[in-house]
Amino acid sequence: MDEELIEPGDFTEEGGRAAMHELLRRRPGLDAVFAASDVMASGAVLELRAAGRRVPDDVAVVGFDDSIVARHIDPPLTSVRQPMEEMGRAMADLLLDEIAGRAGRREVVLPTRLVVRESA
């Protein structure tokens, strides 16, 4: 893994802009970016535009959450959808089992889905 291709952010639009700015400084020729949230991805798109880069022609952008932001940004954002309701149910079940002393530590993996839109 190339550490120069990783830049932390704070899950805000401004954090996405700052992270994208730093990535472009280090790797001006990058052609794709994955952001840990749709909000950060929207900031990355804004920063790419400010740098004269076109999404998706020059740089593909993918976010995470498939939030309302993904559908309303221009171009619409490709994003990873999580099963939020199922996550909530699983967390509640795990918590109730823990409180009742019925179970030790368990790992739960829920499926995600890539929602392809125009940004990638």
The phi-psi region of residue 106 (left if phi > 0; otherwise alpha if psi is between -120 and 50; otherwise beta) is: beta
Q: How is residue 104 written in tokens?
A: 């030790």
Average pLDDT over residues 54-73: 96
* pLDDT, the chain, mean: 94
Which of 62, 43, 49, 36 lies closest to 119, judged by CA? 62
Q: How many whole angstroms separate alpha carbon 93 and alpha carbon 87?
A: 10
| 65: confidence class by pLDDT, cuts 50, 70, 90 | very high
Dihedrals φ, ψ of 115, to 5°?
A: -105, 105
Is-above-0.95 flag for pTM?
Answer: no
Q: How many whole angstroms separate alpha carbon 25 and alpha carbon 95?
A: 44
Residue 52 has what pLDDT?
A: 97
- Whether residue 56 is preceded by a cis peptide bond, meaning omega within 30 degrees of 0, is yes
Q: How is residue 59 written in tokens?
A: 């740089």
